[in-house]
Amino acid sequence: MRGEKQFDIHIYKLSNGAHEYDFELKDEFFEMFDGDLLNKGNLTARVVLNKSDSMIQAEFIIEGSIKLECDRSLELFDYPLRVKKDLMFKYGDEDKELSDDVYVIEKNTQTLNVAKVIFEFIGLEVPMKKLHPKFADEDLDEENSFIYTSGEEENDIEQEEEIIDPRWDALKKLKNNK
């Protein structure tokens, strides 16, 4: 719990305007959350809050690298990451999430804890297919291999276009008579 407190931003007495906060995201940060996908990393997060009387606009800039396990070889590798996301916190009567990037917070909220939000932004950037960089060239070859065909498929498409429903021919004749 102590580790999470370092991600608290005290907003109650903030003046209107822009305020910047920097956070170091090391392995201890990832240990605060349950999950097998993200366990290690070395990142920095800059949070810029632009406070007004009715809302707080927050910009998150996260840079660095996370450790991922290759799906093919099970080797660990550093995956570079750069995330820039915006969130809006509006003041209201109760805490709720209006959309992915708009939250309502109570008017008397004194602190915002940004740890979970930062973790979610990082998690959204993890690729579905995690491949070690040494497999990057091989993966490109596999993905693009379907592009090269014998040409037979193109002929089939042309033949389908030439066969036209006779009802459409009758409509074309009507259109041409105008």
Query: Averaged over 150-177, what is the pLDDT?
Result: 67
Q: What is the pLDDT of residues 11-37, one digit of tens each?
A: 888 899 999 999 999 988 988 888 777
pLDDT computed for residue 13 by the predictor: 84
Q: What is the 3-state secondary structure (H, E, C) of the chain?
A: CHHHHCCEEECCCCCCEEEEEEEEECHHHHHCCCCCCCCCEEEEEEEEEEECCCEEEEEEEEEEEEEEECCCCCCEEEEEEEEEEEEEEEEECCCEEEECCEEEEECCCCEEECHHHHHHHHHHCCCCCCCCHHHHHHHHHHHHHHHCCCCHHHHHHHHHHHCCCHHHHHHHHHHHHC
- Chain position carrying tokens 């740890």: 115
| Whole-angstrom distance, CA of residue 40 vs CA of residue 62 | 15
Q: Indicate whether 147 pLDDT > 50.
A: no
Query: Residue 114: which residues within 8 A CB-CB, separation 6 or more?
Result: 7, 9, 21, 23, 45, 47, 58, 60
Q: What is the pLDDT of residues 48-79, one digit of tens each?
A: 999 998 899 999 999 999 999 988 888 999 99
Domain ranges of the chain: 2-132, 138-177
